[in-house]
Amino acid sequence: MKKKIYMAGCGGMLGEAFHIIFSNDYELKCTDIDVNDTWLEKLDFRNFEDYLKDVDDFKPDYLFHIGAYTDLEYCLKYVDLKWSPQMLSKL
């Protein structure tokens, strides 16, 4: 039986590399806010309740949370996104 890996926020280059490396040896669940490939499922991990339910339902052995805003211009334009109330309430 394959071990399970849940990867949140993995629609970018790092997530794609993880998917390529781990997909043969592990059962994967890969989520991102931007579904840009067939191996991804839609999930916005800023909605903590949906994120928690999805992880609990999958029951992974390992959890990689690798999502990040990496577009500098976007980050400068939407500075308040880093202080998302949904995520701050869980800290």
What's the whole-model pTM score?
0.81
Q: How confident is the model at residue 91 (pLDDT cuts 50, 70, 90)?
A: very low
- Higher pLDDT: 61 or 81? It is 61
Output the pLDDT for position 21: 97
Length, in residues, of the chain: 91
Residue pLDDT, tens place only, 18-56: 999 999 999 999 999 999 999 999 999 888 899 999 999
